[in-house]
Amino acid sequence: MYKEIFSLIYIASSVCAFGFALTNRIHMFQLNAYKYTFHKDWIKSNFKQLMLISLLPAASLLISFIPGNIALLAACVPNILFLMANLPKKAKKPLVCTARVKRLYLTCFLLYAVLAILSLVSSVYICQAALIIPSYLMLAANIINRPAENAVRLHYINEAKKKIASLPRLTVIGITGSYGKTGTKYILERLLSEKYNVLMTPASYNTTMGVVKVIRENLTAAHDIFICEMGARSVGEIKEICDIVKPKYGIITSIGPCHLETFGSIENIIKTKFELCDALPDDGIIFLNADNEYIAAKKDLSSKAIYYGIDNTALSDFSANVRAVSELGTSFDVNGRGESFSLSAKLLGRHSVLNILGCVAVAKTLGVDTDSLILGARRIEGAPHRLSLIRGNGFVIIDDSFNSNPSGSKAALDVLSGFDGQKIIITPGMIELGEKQDELNRELGVYAASICDKIFLVGEKQTRPIKEGAEKAGFDMSHLSVFEKVEDAINTAKTLPCEKRNVILIENDLPDNF
């Protein structure tokens, strides 16, 4: 009688510990886009830490083999410690309890229930194995759920396709690129809204199912234009989105070494981005950044292409002459299709002129008049956490924390260089750059050393190449500091003594799965 009671107490401790561990692993799986390969890489990157934590349930299992009820109570202690190690922490992007997540929880606990029943029958606590390898049990549950998930996914995709087909007056514009696509999307929405009723995919809804969700829940017959941001980490993903939304127009903002870890090569990135061009109808138009070397080198685009650029004016149908770039924004002259006019915007950086120029080319093609464009440009707010300004007492923060890539980080540092004050960069570095990651982070360190008075790095291991690059460039290493948390770096930067003000660039903020 007592043995059964103590066994139930022990299994209860195991169930509670498993629940918290499972929540952590499902959260990471969600951040890894429910992709097995991405989650496998996450396990590999965190293998040492995961193995150390798994020693607790393993020790608990060993203690449970010791005869006597006291041993079972003692075996609960490592489970409780394991539970505490998996308590939820403050997340930048918390777990969203979607229908898929609920189904995954259900299957995992059903598997665990089977192990718990076997444990009671056999007096060998097999359920402890689920605590030792929670990630793999979750992946097993995901495999079990795969047929149902595929059916649900196909159902929602077909719903979205039917809705798009039911709106023959709707014009769809696809936007993709290695970087700059979200900022460009916000600019284009503002300019086109001067004439049309526009819906854009919000925030960073740029995956297939994110786009499907927006179509199903937000798109209506009242919309004239749907601006669809299209992200990708592997070949074929842009094509999949295009097959759903059927774009007539497209913008390729840039091509560069982003997500090299999953794409494998720059050639695969080029192929994937131009899936948008391939998907356009015969009367469709692709708008291309002529200043990007990979885009400019692409041939055989026939009459589909309209180019825009600041530097490569020979290829550009729309070009811009930049008159002023400061912390107050930008002003520039636009030349295109036999017309010239001046625009001003609050967006920071010379690269913002290029993004606005591309959107002007689209807006002009869709019939937005010049006066509306002049007004619309002044109203552009830009995307959150992409060179957004936060002013405080004695400091100003340039918030570029959403993401980072080689081109974007250089552009952000160029913006920082235009501010008066003590210049400080706070960064954890760039990720998902495959074999080139260390090399490109070293280059970031070199460039930061040429502009910044202080360099604050977040994370010792991750930022080592940046430190090496700064040292190689001759930076005074007494002005370089490493912090564990970005919040600590920001608080320190705000209060640094300075003659005028501290100008703080927050360049990237890694997601919770890094």
Q: Please state, rounded to an integer, the average pLDDT across all residues of the chain.
A: 89
Tens digits of residue pLDDT in 8-26 = 888 888 889 999 999 999 9
Mean per-residue pLDDT, 442-446: 94
> What number is the average pLDDT over the span 499-503?
90
Percent of the chain surpassing pLDDT 70: 97
Q: Are 83 and 16 in contact (CB under 8 A)?
A: yes
Q: What dihedral do alpha carbons 30, 161, 268, 263 form, nearest 10°?
A: 0
Give mean pLDDT, residues 316-337: 92
Find the range with the poorest average confidence among 256-270, 327-341, 458-472. Answer: 256-270
Instruction: Write down the pLDDT at residue 513.
Output: 43
Alpha-carbon separation of residue 124 from 67, 72, 117, 119, 328 (angstroms)? 12, 12, 10, 5, 69
Residue 212, pLDDT score: 96
Alpha helices in 418-480 (DSSP H): 437-451, 464-472
Q: Which of 25-34, 285-294, 407-416 has the highest mean pLDDT?
A: 285-294
Among 170-179, 206-215, 253-262, 269-278, name the one with the lowest average pLDDT.
Answer: 253-262
- In this prediction, residue 276 carries a pLDDT of 95
Superfamily name with CATH number, domain 167-379: Mur-like, catalytic domain (3.40.1190.10)
79-118 tens-digit pLDDT: 999 999 888 887 767 888 889 999 999 999 999 889 888 8
Residue 294 has pLDDT above 90, yes or no: yes
Distance in Å from the first CA to the final CA of the chain = 48
Q: What is the distance between the alpha carbons of residues 474 and 294, in angstroms, rounded to a whole number?
A: 32
For the cut 60, the answer to whether the pLDDT of residue 431 exceeds it is yes
Average pLDDT of span 139-164: 95
- Whether 189 and 227 have beta carbons less than 8 Å apart is answered as yes
pLDDT of residue 171: 97
d(CA 304, CA 322): 27
Domains of the chain: which residue ranges? 2-149, 167-379, 388-507
Here the tokens at position 184 are 């460009």
Whole-number Å distance between alpha carbons of 402 and 104: 29
DSSP state of 95: P
pLDDT above 90: percentage of residues in the chain? 58
pLDDT at 319 over 50: yes
Residue 471 pLDDT exceeds 90: yes
Taking the C-alpha atoms of residue 231 and residue 83, their distance in angstroms, rounded to an integer, is 36
Q: Pick the range with the lowest mean pLDDT from 340-349, 400-409, 415-424.
A: 400-409
CATH topology of domain 388-507: Protein-Tyrosine Phosphatase; Chain A (3.90.190)
The token pair at 43 is 């396990």
- 3-class DSSP assignment, residue 65: coil
Whether the pLDDT of residue 357 is over 90: the answer is yes
For the residues 320-336, what does the mean pLDDT come to?
Answer: 92
Assign 345 to helix, strand or coil.
strand
| Bridge partners (DSSP) listed for residue 173 | 227, 249
What percent helix, strand, coil does the chain show, rounded to 5?
A: 50, 15, 30
List the structure tokens of 179. 């970087």
Do the strands 339-345 and 329-336 form a parallel or antiparallel pair, or are they unpaired? antiparallel
What average pLDDT score do residues 349-366 get?
Answer: 95
